[in-house]
């Protein structure tokens, strides 16, 4: 008998297939043929290009991928990877979301799996955002009838839904059908002005050269240039040429697909490591999103880029983003149209104009001993940007304040999921007091990292010893191996509850802050949208 693959591996396999198979552009007619041949055994043709269920929903490329994958896993749909890819592209283009319709929920597409969600609607939170993310729902648009089908599908497919927490204490089906369906249909309707307008609008051109900047937790700030060439309609080759602040390279090449006119999905190999990009190119001349390792999506960073050669002059990043009173630093200012004279705020002196390039200026700048603290403007030609001048570090924040790492490895199917922390330094505001409202953010600073038991239970269980190791220099925590550990009480696994401590030395004064890290078990179910 043929064994059905478990949902997890098929889903992650599908994700790989969907983003990897860069087939030559298929036409809309090809996609329509695939629907004819593959879907109409179960779905009904309502018109020439209208099919039951399929034509009455809008969602992201990942949303379409998940729906079709579900047809394969649950209903036995047979479809090749290339055919599925063609369909996802066709459906995401024809029935996608407008950029504004994804706002506030992009974290799920960007694989920010440590996000804690919170929604105004309590009924939504309890009814629809407890098994999976609420973002999965917010990234879909349907009429009431389709939301209703979805509720029925949930209960039909997983009858235990009614017996689970936050369902067995109430009439789940009645609430879902009579309260949630109207709420969802009003909040997330199939027809919308923003979608009509986006479909009609002229889409930004993405081919060209882009100045990018980012900061990889544990590794530091980087910037560079991303070259984008359109090989076929909506298919691109990419070349990344960048460097970290310490001069080490950040270089790679890859391929991208543009869905729905702005949903940029790329696969790259950067310094030998497979990485992905999930960006929006909806705003002309801008790219924004997250870039992360394919096998370790927790290792990633916010990416932003500006299109070169536009008439605009703007700065995307000043690295480093702060300067201490009396210090001299070499600043990399990256952006576009950065030609022209450098004009610095009072108290800042330009010692050397190291390189001048339209997209990057490197300046040696000194802050005088008497300079006032706070944001100071640097003007280059028509572009301006602020740098923060500080006197001393008054307080620190661990960012993020709460994270989850996961045990893994040990011949199991999932790798360890790390957690990377950063130390955000703050200066006292005009009141001279730390921890008050007028505090000024300085920026992320190198810190010394350690962990301690979070509470008495964690101390008694010796979580610090068993749950993993914190890298003192980088702030990256690597959890321990998965599986039972005979050395632990009752041979339990290496889960733990830790206090994460950052310490920064500022002129002999030690400033510390703490956050919390939960080390827990593997994420067994890991679909494209959590």
- Return residues touching ligand HEC (CB under 6 A): 35, 38-39, 41-43, 53-54, 57, 63, 66-68, 70-71, 74-77, 79, 87, 127-128, 130-132, 136-137, 140, 149-151, 153-154, 158, 161, 164, 176, 180, 184, 527
Query: 361-372 in b/e burial notation, b at 16+ Cβ within 10 A?
Result: bbbebbbeeebe
Q: What is the DSSP string of 350-385?
A: EEEEEEEETTEEEEEEEE-TTPPPEEEEEEETTEEE
Number of helices and strands in the chain (H, E):
14, 30
Question: 375 to each of 143, 348, 471, how far by Cα in Å?
Answer: 49, 12, 32
- Work out how close the CB of 8 gets to ligand HEC at its nearest, in angstroms, rounded to a whole number: 9
C-beta separation of 490 from 68 below 8 A: no
61-75 vs 7-20: helix crossing angle, rounded to 10: 140
| Between 32 and 516, CB nearer to ligand HEC | 32
| Between 17 and 77, CB nearer to ligand HEC | 77
| Between 259 and 390, CB nearer to ligand HEC | 259
61-75 vs 81-94: helix crossing angle, rounded to 10: 130
| Between 156 and 309, CB nearer to ligand HEC | 156
- Work out how close the CB of 297 gets to ligand HEC at its nearest, in angstroms, rounded to a whole number: 17
Q: What is the DSSP string of 75-102?
A: H-----HHHHHHHHHHHHHHS---HHHH
How many Cβ atoms from other residues are within 10 Å of residue 351's Cβ? Answer: 12
Alpha helices in 419-467 (DSSP H): 456-460, 463-466
- Work out how close the CB of 48 gets to ligand HEC at its nearest, in angstroms, rounded to a whole number: 16
| Between 147 and 390, CB nearer to ligand HEC | 147
> Is residue 223 exposed (0-12), middle (13-18) or buried (19+ Cβ within 10 Å)?
buried
Nearest partner of 463 among 502, 499, 508, 427, judged by Cα: 499
At residue 455, the 3 state secondary structure works out as coil
6: its two tokens: 């478990």
| Between 170 and 469, CB nearer to ligand HEC | 170
- Work out how close the CB of 348 gets to ligand HEC at its nearest, in angstroms, rounded to a whole number: 52
- Work out how close the CB of 234 gets to ligand HEC at its nearest, in angstroms, rounded to a whole number: 20
| Between 51 and 301, CB nearer to ligand HEC | 51
**Phi, psi at residue 337, to the nearest 5°?**
60, 40
Nearest partner of 444 among 245, 210, 298, judged by Cα: 245
Return the half-sphere exposure (C-beta side, CA atoms, 13 A cut-off) of residue 170. 12
| Between 224 and 530, CB nearer to ligand HEC | 530
- Work out how close the CB of 524 gets to ligand HEC at its nearest, in angstroms, rounded to a whole number: 12
- Work out how close the CB of 167 gets to ligand HEC at its nearest, in angstroms, rounded to a whole number: 7
- Work out how close the CB of 9 gets to ligand HEC at its nearest, in angstroms, rounded to a whole number: 13
- Work out how close the CB of 20 gets to ligand HEC at its nearest, in angstroms, rounded to a whole number: 19
| Between 224 and 527, CB nearer to ligand HEC | 527
- Work out how close the CB of 164 gets to ligand HEC at its nearest, in angstroms, rounded to a whole number: 6
| Between 154 and 392, CB nearer to ligand HEC | 154
Q: For residue 320, say if its preceding peptide bond is cis, omega within 30 degrees of 0.
A: yes
| Between 154 and 203, CB nearer to ligand HEC | 154
| Between 139 and 495, CB nearer to ligand HEC | 139
Cα torsion through 286, 289, 293, 298, rounded to 10: 150
| Between 184 and 442, CB nearer to ligand HEC | 184
Alpha helices in 358-472 (DSSP H): 456-460, 463-466
Distance CA 123, CA 186 (A): 14
- Work out how close the CB of 75 gets to ligand HEC at its nearest, in angstroms, rounded to a whole number: 4
Distance CA 70, CA 446 (A): 45
Distance CA 449, CA 217 (A): 13
- Work out how close the CB of 34 gets to ligand HEC at its nearest, in angstroms, rounded to a whole number: 7
| Between 164 and 355, CB nearer to ligand HEC | 164
- Work out how close the CB of 160 gets to ligand HEC at its nearest, in angstroms, rounded to a whole number: 7
- Work out how close the CB of 176 gets to ligand HEC at its nearest, in angstroms, rounded to a whole number: 5
Nearest partner of 330 among 346, 353, 347, judged by Cα: 353
Question: 83 to each of 17, 87, 480, how far by Cα in Å?
Answer: 11, 6, 41
Distance CA 328, CA 500 (A): 32
């Amino acid at each position: 008998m043929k064994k059905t693959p478990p949902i997890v591996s098929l889903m992650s396999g599908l994700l790989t297939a969907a983003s990897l198979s860069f087939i030559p552009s298929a036409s809309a007619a090809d996609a329509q043929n695939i629907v004819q041949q593959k879907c109409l055994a179960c779905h009904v043709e309502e018109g020439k290009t209208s099919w039951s269920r399929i034509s009455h929903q809008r969602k992201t490329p990942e949303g379409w991928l998940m729906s079709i994958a579900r047809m394969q896993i649950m209903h036995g749909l047979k479809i090749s990877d290339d055919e599925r890819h063609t369909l996802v592209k066709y459906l995401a283009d024809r029935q996608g979301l407008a950029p504004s319709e994804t706002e506030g929920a992009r974290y799920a597409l960007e694989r920010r799996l440590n996000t804690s969600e919170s929604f105004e609607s309590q009924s939504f939170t309890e009814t629809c955002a407890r098994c999976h993310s609420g973002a999965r729902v917010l990234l879909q648009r349907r009429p009431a009838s389709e939301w209703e089908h979805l509720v029925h599908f949930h209960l039909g497919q997983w009858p235990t839904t009614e017996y689970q927490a936050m369902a067995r204490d109430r009439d789940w089906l009645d609430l879902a059908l009579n309260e949630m369906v109207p709420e969802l249909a009003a909040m997330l309707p199939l027809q919308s002005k923003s979608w009509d307008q986006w479909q009609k609008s002229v889409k930004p051109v993405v081919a060209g050269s882009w100045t990018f900047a980012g900061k990889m937790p544990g590794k530091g700030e980087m910037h560079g240039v991303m070259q984008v060439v359109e090989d076929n309609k909506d298919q691109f080759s990419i070349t990344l040429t960048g460097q970290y602040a310490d001069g080490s390279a950040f270089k790679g090449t890859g391929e991208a697909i543009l869905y729905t006119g702005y949903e940029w999905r790329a696969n790259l190999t950067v310094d030998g490591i497979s990485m992905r990009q999930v960006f929006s190119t909806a705003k002309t001349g801008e790219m924004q999103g997250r870039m992360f390792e394919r096998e370790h999506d927790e290792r990633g960073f916010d990416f932003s880029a500006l299109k070169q050669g536009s008439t605009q002059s703007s700065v995307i990043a000043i690295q480093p983003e702060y300067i201490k009173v009396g210090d001299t630093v070499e600043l990399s200012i990256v952006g576009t149209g950065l030609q022209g004279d450098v004009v610095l705020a009072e108290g800042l002196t330009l010692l050397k104009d190291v390189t001048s390039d339209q997209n990057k200026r490197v300046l040696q700048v000194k802050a005088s001993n008497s300079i006032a603290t706070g944001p100071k403007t640097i003007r280059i030609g028509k572009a301006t940007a602020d740098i923060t001048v500080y006197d001393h570090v008054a307080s620190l924040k661990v960012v993020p304040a709460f994270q989850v790492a996961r045990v893994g490895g040990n011949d199991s199917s999932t790798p360890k999921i790390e957690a990377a922390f950063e130390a955000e330094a703050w200066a006292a505001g005009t009141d001279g007091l730390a921890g008050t409202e007028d505090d000024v953010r300085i920026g992320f600073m190198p810190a010394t990292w350690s962990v301690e038991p979070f509470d008495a239970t964690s101390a008694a269980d010796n979580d610090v010893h068993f749950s993993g190791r914190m890298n003192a220099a980088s702030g990256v925590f690597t959890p321990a191996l998965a599986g039972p550990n005979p050395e632990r009480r009752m041979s339990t696994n290496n889960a733990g509850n830790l206090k994460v401590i950052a310490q920064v030395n500022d002129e002999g004064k030690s400033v510390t802050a703490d956050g919390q890290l939960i080390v827990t078990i593997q994420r067994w179910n890991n679909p494209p949208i959590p």
